[in-house]
């Protein structure tokens, strides 16, 4: 049990060290560059930094092909630089979360090199092998259309090895007790260096049974998650695990734990996908259903609420009709789509850089049940480069100014090209310009984050969905410690007028206090509040007392 449950009201900011800030002019971001920008993150209101992989790697999958779990890739600095970074973050009140990529390693990892070279190697059983090509070798691929199989023949080992992802990422045999012990060592190592937890990559695959005998849906060993959590909280009581698990709501409890004793947090993919459908269709009913279906059963469980991340926008849980509607709205061209299920774009171009739509989307991210997780660059409305392959299009360097390479680096060439043309080029979209503009997206975002942190009812409280008689309007009511907030969002390109009653307790003024402006709402003579929402309009109201009973007006 974590006494203060800090993650319930956190603001998480995801970044890649290699694409955030270059300090030495080699074209690659590094920890010393990141340290220079910590005050920027602190000023934005960030309370937890989630780092994408930075360990030693051949770099074939942006660091997710790890070749050494105990080191920092020399391009990004040293272990000393990392410790200095975590210390500097702590001084500013920010925690650090790092990716825990333990489903697979790089094929260049010394463990795999040893395993393939000798059947009697102590690491042979750390991976998953088959002497014959399994019947399901072309099933269950994570990257259809790019990936060819999940089993590949290795001429040195004279056997097939299993890889749920790319062929250069052989799966670890996570059922092996020695592998599990090593995973705990990896966690303990980074905890000792100052991290406050981990984002567990591909959690369902980590716990799934693996081997040539597996046919159909594999058995999942959920007790493994409990072992990870027990170790984590024994070593560092306030550390957490945020699991990446794109699962159905019926399985949520299995990951959070029967008694809330497994994962502290998970990304809410179900809400994410139905949210984008709502933005495409102005129909909040599937989103409402997803919110109700994913209501946590335990006080310690928390969702991570996000709009976009470093991967494609996965729409695989939507119906075919819903998915096509989202494709038509946000990624109509084939070059914008990926793996037959997702959209590989950043949010700003998906929403045609429409400030109204961007604001309502980010207001939702900050106010849906859970903890907001923001992707680097989204606070200034960065774009994407569709000329880059697969998911790299949304991983371009951070745009700090209108200087060379957007102020990211002084090098002749950068790790990925900085967006330099069009309305999303660094000359037009950068931190420096938006800092000076009081009406910029960056300054709006800073104000919204501050308001979110001053509204702990969202992170800590219970929520209800209020029916206001309009499928395009989502009305959420949070209650916590005798406080109530009501949040309204209009998904429609036209305005909407709604009304509801708020019965005040003990003669208190029948008023809804607007947290974002001075446009407060006074009830009429019959106790009704009448609210007019602009196209893509939103309101954050504080009611102030748990005794307020909010319901749809008759």
**In 262-417, which ranges are continuous DSSP H helix?**
269-281, 285-293, 320-330, 347-350, 355-367
Identify the three-state secondary structure at position 150.
coil
The helix (H) or strand (E) run that includes residue 501 is: strand 496-503
Residue bearing tokens 């994410």? 272
Identify whether the C-beta of residue 335 lies closer than 8 Å to the C-beta of residue 295. no
Beta carbons of 222 and 254 less than 8 angstroms apart: yes
Apex CA 368: angle with CA 548 and CA 257, to 5°? 100
* Nearest by Cα to 44 from 540, 458, 459, 442: 442
Catalytic residue among 22, 99, 201, 359: 201
- Tell me if residue 420 falls in helix, strand or coil: coil
Tokens of 146: 């790019």
Catalytic residue among 244, 312, 384, 510: 244
Q: Are 191 and 95 in contact (CB under 8 A)?
A: no
Residue 89: CA count within 13 A, CB half-sphere: 27
Pairing of strands 538-542, 483-490: antiparallel
Return the H-helix or E-strand segment holding 509. none
- List, as one string, the DSSP characters of 449-481: HHHHHT-THHHHSEEEE---S-TTEEEEEEEET
Q: Which residue has the tokens 């793996």?
A: 339
201 belongs to the catalytic site: yes
Helices 355-367 + 441-453 axis angle, to 10: 20
Round to whole Å and give the CA distance between 179 and 104: 11
Determine contact, residues 198/235, Cβ cutoff 8 Å: no
Across the strands, what pairs with 375?
A: 14
Q: Residue written as tokens 């080699």?
A: 26
Length of the chain counted residue by residue: 554
Q: Quick check: 204 and 186 in contact, CB under 8 A?
A: no
Between CA 373 and CA 10 the distance in angstroms is 9
- Let me know: does 68 contact 59? Beta carbons within 8 Å: no
Under 8 Å between Cβ of 343 and 312: yes
176 dihedral zone (left: phi>0; alpha: psi -120 to 50; beta): beta
Catalytic positions are 201, 244
């Amino acid at each position: 049990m974590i006494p203060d449950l800090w993650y319930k009201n956190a603001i998480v900011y995801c970044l890649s060290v290699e694409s955030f800030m270059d300090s030495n002019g080699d074209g690659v971001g590094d920890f010393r560059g990141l340290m220079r920008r910590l005050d920027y993150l602190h000023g934005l209101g960030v309370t937890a930094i989630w780092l994408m992989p930075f360990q030693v790697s051949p770099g074939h999958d942006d660091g997710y092909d790890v070749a050494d779990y105990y080191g920092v890739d020399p391009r990004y600095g040293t272990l000393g630089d990392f410790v200095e970074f975590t210390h500097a973050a702590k001084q500013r009140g920010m925690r650090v979360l790092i990716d825990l990529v333990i489903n697979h390693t790089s094929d260049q990892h010394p463990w795999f090199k040893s395993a393939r070279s000798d059947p009697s190697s102590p690491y042979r059983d750390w991976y998953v092998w088959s002497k014959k090509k399994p019947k399901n070798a072309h099933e269950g691929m994570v990257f259809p259309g790019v990936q060819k199989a999940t089993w590949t023949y290795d001429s040195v080992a004279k056997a097939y090895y299993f890889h749920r992802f790319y062929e250069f990422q052989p799966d670890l045999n996570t059922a092996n007790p020695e592998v599990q012990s090593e995973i705990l060592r990896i966690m303990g190592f980074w905890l000792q260096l100052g991290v406050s937890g981990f984002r567990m990559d591909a959690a369902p695959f980590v716990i799934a049974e693996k081997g040539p005998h597996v046919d159909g849906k594999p058995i999942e060993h959920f007790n493994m998650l409990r072992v990870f959590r027990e170790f984590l909280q024994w070593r560092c009581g306030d550390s957490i695990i945020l699991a990446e698990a794109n699962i159905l709501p019926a399985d949520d409890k299995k990951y959070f734990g029967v008694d809330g004793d497994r994962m502290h947090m998970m990304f809410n993919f179900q809400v994410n996908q139905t949210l984008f459908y709502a933005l495409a269709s102005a129909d909040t009913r599937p989103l409402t259903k997803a919110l109700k279906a994913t209501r946590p059963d335990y006080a310690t469980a928390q969702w991570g609420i996000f709009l976009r991340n470093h991967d494609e926008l996965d729409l695989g849980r939507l119906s075919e009709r819903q998915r096509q509607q989202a494709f038509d709205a946000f990624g109509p061209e084939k070059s914008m789509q990926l793996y037959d299920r997702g959209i590989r774009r950043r949010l700003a171009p998906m929403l045609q850089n429409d400030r109204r739509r961007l604001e309502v989307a980010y207001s939702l991210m900050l106010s849906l049940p859970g903890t907001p997780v923001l992707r680097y660059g989204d606070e200034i409305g960065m774009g994407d480069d569709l000329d880059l392959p697969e998911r790299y299009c949304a991983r371009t360097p951070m745009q700090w100014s209108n200087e060379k390479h957007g102020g990211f680096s002084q090098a002749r060439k950068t790790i990925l090209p900085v967006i330099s043309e069009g309305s999303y080029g660094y000359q037009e979209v950068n931190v420096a310009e938006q800092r000076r503009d009081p009406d910029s997206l960056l300054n709006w975002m800073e104000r919204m984050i501050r308001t979110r942190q001053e509204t702990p009812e969202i992170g800590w409280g219970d929520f209800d969905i209020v029916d206001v008689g309009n499928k395009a309007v989502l009305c959420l009511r949070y209650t916590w410690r005798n406080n109530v907030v009501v949040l309204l969002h209009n998904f429609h390109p036209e305005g909407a007028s709604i009304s509801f009653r708020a019965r005040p307790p003990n003669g208190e003024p029948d008023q809804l206090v607007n947290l974002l402006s001075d446009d407060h709402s006074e009830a009429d003579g019959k106790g009704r509040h009448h609210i007019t929402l602009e196209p893509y309009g939103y309101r954050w109201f504080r009611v102030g007392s748990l005794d307020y009973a909010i319901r749809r007006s008759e």
